[in-house]
A and B are shown apart, each in its own frame.
Chain A
Amino acid sequence: MTSIFKAAATAFMLTAGTMAASAQTNLRIGLAEDPDALDPTTARTYVGRIVFASICDKLFDIDDKLNVVPQLALSHETATDGKSVTIKLRPGVKFHDGEVLDAEAAKYSLDRHMTMQGSFRRPELSIVDKVVVVDPLTIRLEMKSPFAPLIAQLTDRSGMMVSPKAAKEAGDKFGLRPVCAGPYQFVERVQQDRIIVQKFADYWDKDNVHIDRITYLPVVDSTVRLANLRAGQLDLIERALATDMKDIRANTRLKLVTAPELGYQGMTINVGKGEAAKVFADKRIRMALAASIDRAAINQVVFNGEFTPGNQWVGPTNPYYQQKFPAPGRDLAKARKLIADAGVKTPIAIDFMVPNNPETRQVAEVIQAMASEAGFDMKIRVTEFATSLAEAEAGRYQAFMLAWSGRTDPDGNIFTFAKTNQPNNYGGYSDPEIDGWLDEARTKSTLAERKAVYEKATAKLIDEGGVIYLYHRLNIIAHTTRLVGYSQIPDGLVRVKSLKLN
């Protein structure tokens, strides 16, 4: 009964709110999915990060060149032995509940990420031994061993600071009403319908926040999302389709903003997991499959040529991209020769697991047609997400269309995928040399040093690794021309600070 009253009261307040708010600016953002719980410690979806971008500031952020820039921190300094990092915090920062962000609060947030039951941040921060409060505005992270990607981890959810008071009170229900230190504060969420946030009056950088209110609306169907943007029911949509880009460009009332993604789209190959791995155990067969694929044609047919073909775990615009190994063209003769040399009878039947997503399915169908010319019989098995994870885990597949949303640091795109027995190494790839290089790269601190180590790994993985990289998407954002000042950063998140709505 009480909940009915509560609902009625909310409805009333909302009505009253809408009336009073007529002069306020409201930015309506169309999301491609419904986010999960909004607790930085337990959140796991990409779409959730888009919402966090407005409510939870992080210790560090990244800029459009992927450089780490300070946000809630002012600076960081790594000790000469590489085993500790000292972070200075920005003074005068307040959480949405008025609590002050000091070293104790920062330590609380990091400890929560590292120890709370059900925390998904734990593996990201597993290298941290403990967090020490140096003075009221300084903390020191002491590590078990040198770990170059640590600061990059703090540019994402692991670096988000939560109000200790609110977090202690709410426990594992914190995600229903998050209290952070971002430019907007959480107002209300109706599951699968909308999330409303409003401008936080005591934000540390409040002069750069112009829009009063943001409403996030999950609209799964991309056609519908775009139709709503055109009709003026949304002001900005994320993940528009490559095939719709032409229409968006042609529309004078819309603006298209893109940035290459941090992740990759590829085909995971079972090279070492169980009975099914037999086919690709001979690396010539794996190379033949790779050679039979025309990456440029996939890009043209499925994505109107808008994306970028790729053959590495980072895209061509990434500083860690190895220019030495450009994405190869299709070489059917080579593919046929490799198969003949291996002495395998064609057609080679391949169990090809494909997630139930129309775009991925289309890519898979094109690959199916391409590979058949080299002598592969790729049998597509459309598998819904939850099942595909279980199948991949068990090694019940031979090829698997799998994408990775990407991390700021290249380590996040390769370490858990290629190192022996790591959780995302679905292909069961195992090689002591690769393991050694991946570990080594973590201890180097400069870009040049790390890139040199990765170069050795790239050369080897292109031929025999558990992933055939195919292409890199664009983060495609479309918004009305009423919205001014929007720019896109490769992580795909929608940063709302400094935007204006006319």
Chain B
Amino acid sequence: MSAVLANPALHPPVESPIRRAWAKLRHRKGAMVALVVLLLIAFFAIFAPLIAPHDPVKQGWATVRKAPSALYWFGTDEVGRDLFSRIIYGARASLSAGVISVSIALLLGVPVGLLAGYRGGWVDSIISRFTDAMLACPFLILAIAMAAFLGPSLSNAMIAIGVTAMPIFIRLTRGQVISVKVEDYVEAARSVGNTPFQIAFRHILPNIAPQLLVQATLTIATAIIAEAALSFLGLGQQPPQPSWGSMLNSAQRFLSNAPWMAIFPGLAIFVTVLSFNLLGDGLRDALDPRTSDR
């Protein structure tokens, strides 16, 4: 193990780690199914105008709260819009919320984590205590407060979720850095005169990237739920544009006389989140050098 990792910059392994991981991932049925489902959802989101049978914001005042039928596959909502089309368009909000907010969390969290882990000392102490403090506060309360502060919109909800999820990545990065910074290759890089900045980004970051990728995939799942929760409270996507969370919010009033309004958006969230979790699991196994191909 350590022989391979001793100095990847100088002696790249014959088989690239990415290719090896892909080979392993391909054999994980669950992860592959999840990947296909996610690609399909992404496809739906991107080509929504071509796929959706109806206009997602076009109201039909004569077809309010109609049950699923051949014309409206998932039924219609409280102002007569086609639920199926809205769910397809809603995928845009959910997927981008998941991916963008986690990117924000990574962009903010990883550098801070690198700094804390690499510098150590009082810098590390302050960052770590601050991270502990943020993790101790209820996630949703932080997100609600931040989203309310920034003003209600999908992009602000993403920022709020990203900032709130940041400590997860600070903590993870810091831990990883501490465990690899004593490795030979870091010592080697230091001895040839690399600046701490270069060491952190060129030598340490690539080595902890797999763990970050796994955590990021799993956090996307959490972020999608968080976006739905914020939209559910009215702090996300603004009407008439659809989001799965805000669709659930409107559905709550009609639970007994139009249950389809709650069932389908919920299923959409469930399937998407499930897929990200499966993919994250698969990636974890594939990127973990300890597990062998099965």
Contact surface of A with B, Cβ cutoff 8 Å: 221-223, 226-227, 241, 243-244, 247, 297, 300-302, 354, 356, 358-359, 361-362, 364-366, 368-369, 379-384, 387
Query: Given A247-B257, A356-B234, are A382 and B152 neighbors across the interface (CB < 8 Å)?
Result: yes
CB-CB under 8 A from A382, the residues of chain B are 152, 234-235, 238-239
- List, in ascending order, chain B residues with CB within 8 A of A244's CB: 256-257
- Whether B252 sits at the interface, judged by CB under 8 Å, is yes
- List 5 interface pairs A-B (beta carbons < 8 Å), by A numbering: A223-B253, A244-B257, A247-B257, A301-B79, A365-B240
Partner pick for B256 among A247, A297, A369, A384, CB 8 A cutoff: A247
Closest residue of chain A to B65, judged by CB? Answer: A243
Cβ proximity bits B223-260 to A, threshold 8 Å, 1 near / 0 not: 00000000001110011100000000110111111000
Most interface-central of A244, A354, A369 (chain B CB within 10 A):
A369
Cα separation A241 to B254 with both chains bound (whole Å):
10
A243 touching B152, Cβ below 8 Å: no
Which B-chain residue is minimally distant from A300 (CB atoms)?
A: B61
Q: Within residues 52 to 106 of chain B, which ones have a CB less than 8 A from any CB in chain A?
A: 59, 61, 64, 78-80
Give every chain A residue within 8 A of B240 (Cβ-Cβ). 365, 368-369, 380
Q: Contact at B252–A358, with CB atoms within 8 Å?
A: yes
Q: In the complex, are the beta carbons of A361 and B253 less than 8 A apart?
A: no
B80 nearest in chain A by CB position: A301
A384: contacting residue among B78, B148, B252, CB under 8 A: B148
Q: Which residues of A contact B79 (CB under 8 A)?
A: 301-302, 362, 365-366, 369
Contacts of A243 in B (CB 8 A): 253-254, 257
B 41-59 binary contact with A (CB < 8 Å = 1; else 0):
0000000000000000001
**Complex contact B250–A358 (CB within 8 A):** yes
A387 to chain B, nearest CB (A): 6
* Closest chain A residue to B147, Cβ basis: A384
Q: Which of B64, B148, B250, B254 contacts A361 (CB 8 A)?
A: B250
Query: How distant is the Cα of A30 from the Cα of B240 in the complex, in angstroms?
Result: 32
Show the binding face of B for A, using Cβ within 8 Å.
59, 61, 64, 78-80, 148, 151-152, 233-235, 238-240, 249-250, 252-257
**Beta-carbon contact of A227 and B256 below 8 Å:** yes
Given contacts A362-B79, A365-B79, contact A384 B234 (CB under 8 A): yes
Contact B78 A362, beta carbon cutoff 8 Å: yes
Do B238 and A380 have beta carbons less than 8 Å apart?
yes
Contact residues of B: prevailing secondary structure: loop
- Decide if A365 touches B252 in the complex (CB within 8 Å): no
Find A223's partner among B238, B250, B255 (CB 8 Å cutoff): B255
| A362 touching B250, Cβ below 8 Å | yes
**In contact, A366 and B253 (Cβ under 8 angstroms):** no
Q: Bound state CA distance, A244 and B148, in angstroms?
A: 32
Q: How far is the CB of B84 from chain A (nearest CB, A)?
A: 19
Q: CA–CA, A247 to B250, complex, Å?
A: 19
- B233/A356 in contact, CB under 8 A: yes
Q: Which residues of B contact A359 (CB under 8 A)?
A: 253
Complex CA gap A368/B148 in Å reads: 23
Pick from A241, A301, A380, A381: contact of B64, CB under 8 Å: A301
6 nearest A-B residue pairs (beta carbon): A356-B234, A223-B255, A382-B234, A301-B61, A369-B59, A380-B239
Best-buried of B80, B235, B240 by chain A (most CB within 10 Å): B240
CB distance A358 to B256 under 8 Å?
A: no
* 8 Å CB contact of A297 from B61, B234, B253: B61
Nearest CB of chain A from residue B200's CB, rounded to whole Å: 41
Neighbouring A residues of B234 by C-beta, 8 Å? 356, 361, 382, 384
With A356-B233, A358-B252 already in contact, the answer to whether A381 and B257 are too (CB < 8 A) is no
Give the residues in chain A near B64, CB-CB below 8 Å.
301
The answer on a CB contact under 8 Å between B238 and A381 is: yes
Give, as a whole number of angstroms, the nearest-CB distance from B240 to chain A.
5
Q: Which residues of A contact B256 (CB under 8 A)?
A: 223, 226-227, 244, 247
Most B-side CB within 10 Å, residue of A243, A244, A354, A364: A243
Residue contact A365 to B59, C-beta cutoff 8 Å: yes
Cβ-neighbour of B239 out of A221, A300, A364, A384 (below 8 A): A364
Tell me, in angstroms, the Cα distance from A244 to B240 when the chains sit together.
24
Most buried by B among A221, A358, A387: A358
Given contacts A362-B79, A365-B59, contact A241 B239 (CB under 8 A): no
